[in-house]
Amino acid sequence: MALVQLNSRFEQMEYFESIFGFMFDASKFTYLDDADLKECCLNLESALTNDEDCDIDDKDLFIESQILQEMLPNGAYDGERPWSSIEIMEFTKKMDMFPNVLLAYKILLTLPVTVASAERSFQT
């Protein structure tokens, strides 16, 4: 049971990373070229689409992301510790001009990445 739960968790984390991975820190985000960034934005839009409803428009997210890549200070992605998702979100909040990027980070940072079912399975 434990191995099944662990495998399930790793699969969920890999899926989560495939959708939101480009937003995890500033070094990943900043060094994406336009083609990869566009693909990531499209992938995120499709993951957040339910029937006709969509939380984020990939074209707007792509344009905002390009601008944000240029506006992030050098210290955000160069140096020992690149900015985390929370720090990038705080920066976009202060700038007040990236509504789709801010929404994407809010979704990223509020998604539950674990559940208690594995812990319950270890109880006797």
Which residue, chain included where needed, has tokens 């495939």? Answer: 18
Helical residues (DSSP H) of the chain, grouped into ranges = 2-20, 26-30, 34-47, 58-71, 74-77, 85-95, 99-110, 117-121
- The more confident residue out of 112 and 108 is 108
pLDDT in tens, 59-103: 999 999 999 999 999 999 988 899 999 999 999 999 999 999 999
For 98, phi then psi, to 5°, come to -130, 65
Domain ranges of the chain: 26-110
Contacts of 75 (CB under 8 A, 6+ apart): none
**How many residues are there in the chain?**
124
Query: For the whole model, what pTM was predicted?
Result: 0.80
Q: What pLDDT, on the 0 to 100 scale, is given for residue 10?
A: 82
Q: Over 70: is that where the pLDDT of 50 sits?
A: yes
46: exposed, middle or buried (C-beta count within 10 Å: 0-12, 13-18, 19+)?
Answer: exposed
Residue with tokens 């109880």: 123
Residue 66: the pLDDT is 97
Q: Which tens digits make up the pLDDT trace of 28-44? A: 999 999 999 999 999 99
Note the pLDDT of residue 22: 94
Between 79 and 17, where is the model more confident? 17
Beta strand pairing status for 53-54 and 49-50? antiparallel
Q: What average pLDDT does the structure give for the chain?
A: 88
Q: CA angle, corner 37, sides to 90 and 56, nearest 5?
A: 60
